[in-house]
């Protein structure tokens, strides 16, 4: 299906149909790839960089600095590049994403320690137990089947490895939530659509966050997928959260 047939769909229609969501998500991210990094940093006021650094610190890669790590839904390889640059890191980062234009857009950040991989989070072309850790930043809400994706990450992780999820959440404080909703549902779609030329993509963002499980619900689903020692912490007044689980 051509991309321009996909991105015209109403984002509200994608939640109940996994195949439609998969086509829609791959289509919109393929189209906005050239402006993705610029808009990410602009619309988050660069706080996304701070969140990513914190998430990488939670990965505990120092326990196996020469091993292979997975950056899931890697997009333009921001996380993969940040991990590969860590002092003392001597391993390899697999940056997996099913939207090839996003990976291509991030090639300028690549290095000998980063291997971009066109792959679906629901069916990773990796051997069981082959990754010493995995991380996903602002991508897990885009998968067409969350529970399958969590189980697939669990499969490819080695015993004792951590899985770190950085994702947007819904603030609980009513004042913060009101400001957040105004920005997410009014300002962000307007600016994002204007700069990227794709209004559907930036209408989809708040819709996808609204439908994503709350922190405690995501933690429960991580446990159901087989992860142990699951915990989470809120960031920036509940705008985002980091979840961490370990493969026992």
What is the total count of domains within the chain? Answer: 1
Helix, strand, coil percentages for the chain (3-state, nearest 5): 50, 20, 30
Helix axes 18-43, 199-211, angle to 10 degrees: 100
37 pLDDT above the threshold of 90: no
Q: Is this prediction's pTM over 0.95?
A: no
Q: Which pair of tokens denotes residue 138?
A: 């602002």
Give the mean pLDDT of 140-153: 96
In this predicted structure, what is the pLDDT of residue 16?
52
Residue 75 to residue 33: CA distance in whole angstroms: 8
What CATH number does the domain containing 72 carry? 3.40.50.150
8 pLDDT above the threshold of 80: no
| CA 150 to chain centroid | 12
Query: For strand 131-137 and strand 114-118, is the pairing parallel, antiparallel, or unpaired?
Result: unpaired
Structural domain span for residue 50: 1-248
Give tens-digit pLDDT for 63-102: 999 999 999 999 999 999 999 999 999 999 999 999 999 9
Give the mean pLDDT of 33-41: 84
């Amino acid at each position: 299906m051509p991309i321009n047939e996909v991105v015209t769909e109403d984002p509200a229609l994608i939640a109940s149909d996994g195949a439609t969501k998969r086509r829609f998500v791959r289509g919109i991210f393929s189209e906005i790839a050239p402006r993705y990094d610029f808009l990410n940093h602009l619309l988050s006021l660069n706080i996304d960089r701070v969140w990513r650094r914190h998430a990488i610190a939670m990965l505990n890669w120092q326990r196996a600095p020469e091993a292979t790590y997975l950056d899931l839904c890697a997009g333009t390889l921001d996380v993969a590049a940040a991990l590969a640059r860590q002092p003392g890191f001597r391993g390899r980062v697999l940056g997996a994403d099913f939207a090839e234009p996003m990976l291509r857009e991030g090639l300028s950040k690549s290095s000998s320690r980063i291997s971009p991989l066109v792959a679906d989070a629901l069916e990773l072309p990796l051997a069981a137990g082959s990754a010493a850790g995995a991380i996903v930043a602002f991508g897990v809400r885009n998968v067409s089947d969350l529970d399958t994706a969590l189980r697939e990450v669990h499969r490819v992780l080695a015993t004792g490895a951590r899985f770190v999820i950085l994702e947007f959440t819904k603030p609980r404080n009513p004042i913060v939530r009101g400001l957040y909703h105004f920005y997410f549902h009014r300002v962000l779609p307007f600016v994002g659509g204007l700069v990227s030329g794709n209004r559907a993509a930036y209408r989809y963002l708040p819709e996808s966050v609204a439908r994503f499980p709350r922190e405690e619900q995501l933690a429960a689903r991580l446990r159901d997928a087989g992860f142990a020692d699951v915990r989470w912490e809120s960031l920036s007044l509940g705008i985002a959260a980091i979840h961490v689980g370990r493969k026992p």
